[in-house]
Structure 1
Amino acid sequence: MKIISFRRETPFHEILRDLQGKIRAHKERKPWRCYEDMSCMCVSQQVYRLLHKHFERYQPTVEENLTVSVHAEEEIPWGVRYVGAQKRWKKGMGAGVKIGVIDTGISGEHYELKNRLKGGVDFVGGKRNGHGTHVAGIIVAEMNQRGIVGVSPESYIYDIRAFDEEGRSSLATILQAIHWSIDNQMDIINMSFGMPQYSEALARVIKKANDRGIVMVASAGNNGGEVEYPARYDQVIGVSAIDQNGKLASFSSRGRGANRKAPGVDILSTWPGNQFRKLNGTSMAAPHVTGLMALQMARRLPASKAEATV
């Protein structure tokens, strides 16, 4: 499309009458839009190529049909700013990293997540709740000039659904979910869940994933006391929650197994139905660390893997 502005001293109706005669001669339909009071018209590229010498007779100003964007700005949630993600984006945004999110399921229709979600598995069926969608947004909400942005907005997530609508699962299902992550070569697994007791079977599958080079990040727990499992295993990065002042949240588990602290109070992220919601919990803290690990890992990926994944 070309946008043509004619000299105002030339009667616009005369220009139109002349052009209509030329168009009839070429058996073309009228392919323009006129703004007579401004002596302007928009014409197709085809017609401009056909009649450009005729247009030049009038010495008009000819412009391209430029792309115009609204001055929208996506929000960078305080947690993303707090962990320093913006500074790290100068060296990459996590492209090529595969992140398995073992949770209640992810809303793949959300405009912040649909291009980042690349696969997954459902071990439980039935209705979902928004917990997994919220976790996913903290990690990878896309940089698209609206909504919010996640810590690692160019990484890919995999929806490994192991929890029902009530947020409950079983040890056997968790073992399946981690095995799926190993078999499908995840780079990182986010586990925003926990249980108070040690499990030998879970310890063994965690070790197997660690031996395969998978980074595992888990929420410490919301009991205000001891860190839960799987965060407490040595091979897992356990994450406690802090507030905007950097203080440990009163609900956050702490102590042995809490290797890292990250934002977990008033965290804004994605919610089903193309919505956003604020939640509290170490479940929100863990994905901040997962995103940071993805940014770090992406720098070490060979270019061939990043391109193949994309």
Structure 2
Amino acid sequence: MTKDCSATLRKLVKNPVAAVPANEVVDWGLEALGVPGLWSMTRGEGIKIGVIDTGADLKHTDLVGAIADSRTFGVRDGAEAWDHIGHGTHVCGIIAARDNNQGIIGVAPRSKLYIAKVLDCEEDLDADVIAEAIDWCVEKGVDIINISLALYDGSDALEEAVERAVEANVAIVAAAGNEGNYQDFICYPAKYRGVLCVGSVDRNRKLSPTSSVGNRLDLLAPGEEIYSTFPLGIYAKLSGTSMACPFVTGIAALVLARHRDYKPVSTTPCDTPAQLREHLLASATPIKTAESVNYTGFRVINPDGAKA
């Protein structure tokens, strides 16, 4: 068993600020990044996204139209991928909550989700189980895999699964971790080469105090008090790089969808994970912090890259 951050994750969702909105809400993170301005061009149509997490509320009104397939891995292999923690449901909503005049709307509200549940209330996070989930997502033909989970250590099986996914032209976006800004400590699988590693900023575009930093950090995105879907059909505010990660995944979906539609005239192809990464980094907005002197990745994701 690989040492993981399961306890931190469960603490994160222990006391969510929950409510059911009267009208559809556009979260501050979407507004801050200007995502709604892109929806006239693309909403992520045709993009398949694997979400490796704690499962999902499979009947949530904002997600039921988004989920294409689901499966549980680990000790409950084959069981339905219901989310008993809340983390995965929240991540799913940030990416792809439907535009249905209720609840919230996600970054890429017409993308499709493939739910791979790898963690439950009574389990520890296992690198080899995540590896199995990555392979399943690749078999399903996804374009992007979101992993808002963090391990202190990786494994050979996990690293090899990441390599297979990248070779299959599947982009992987992973959370940097919530270990703070005082040391170089990027968690796995975000630390692996070829993975887009995502940290968190607040409403003022300042680095979140809990966000991990290091020389494998690629991008930053909103991660403080993000409002999204939660089990039992409700909504909640959660914080962390786990919430920042799906913003990058959603914007990557918009970029891919836009570039597929306009491939004949695109000057910046996104046919491989490396090209997608280069595109997202080139269009990101740099920020200056004390930590940026020593580490990489102090650039906030910019969805305007979907236009190019």
In structure 2, the residue matched to 1:114 is: 64
Shift of 1:182: 1.3
| 8 A contact 1:152–1:292 mirrored in 2 | yes
Of residues 215-224 and 192-201 in structure 1, the stretch that sits farther from structure 2 once superposed is 192-201
In structure 2, the residue matched to 1:221 is: 177
Match of 1:242 among 178, 201, 206: 201
SS at structure 2 position matched to 1:159: strand
In structure 1, the gaps of 5 or more residues are: 1-71, 304-310
Shift of 1:84: 2.2
| 8 A contact 2:127–2:154 mirrored in 1 | no
In structure 1, the residue matched to 2:132 is: 176
Residues 180-191 of structure 1: pairs in structure 2 closer than 5 A: 180-191=136-147
Higher relative contact order (CA 8 A, sep 6+): 2
Match of 2:45 among 80, 90, 95: 95
The whole-number CA distance in structure 1 between the counterparts of 2:47 and 2:209 is 33
| 8 A contact 1:140–1:154 mirrored in 2 | yes
SS at structure 1 position matched to 2:39: helix
Match of 2:158 among 202, 206, 226: 202
Q: Deviation per CA, 1:203-247, whole angstroms, max 9, x where unpaired?
A: 221111001100100000001141111111120000001100101
The whole-number CA distance in structure 2 between the counterparts of 1:160 and 1:279 is 21
Shift of 1:198: 4.0
In structure 2, the residue matched to 1:274 is: 233
The whole-number CA distance in structure 1 between the counterparts of 2:34 and 2:197 is 19
SS at structure 2 position matched to 1:248: coil
SS at structure 1 position matched to 2:40: helix
Residues 60-75 of structure 1: pairs in structure 2 closer than 5 A: 73-75=23-25
Identity %: 40
Q: Which runs of 4+ in 1 moved over 6 A?
A: none
Whose radius of gyration is greater, 1 or 2? 1
The whole-number CA distance in structure 2 between the counterparts of 1:140 and 1:150 is 4
In structure 1, the residue matched to 2:286 is: none
The whole-number CA distance in structure 1 between the counterparts of 2:140 and 2:96 is 19
Q: Deviation per CA, 1:275-307, whole angstroms, max 9, x where unpaired?
A: 00000110000000000000011123369xxxx
1:258 and 2:214 are equivalent in the alignment: no
TM-score, length basis structure 2: 0.72
Matched residue pairs, number?
Answer: 232
| 8 A contact 1:94–1:154 mirrored in 2 | yes
Q: Deviation per CA, 1:91-149, whole angstroms, max 9, x where unpaired?
A: 11001110010000010111000001110211143872111000000000111111111
In structure 2, the gaps of 5 or more residues are: 1-21, 263-308
In structure 1, the residue matched to 2:94 is: 138
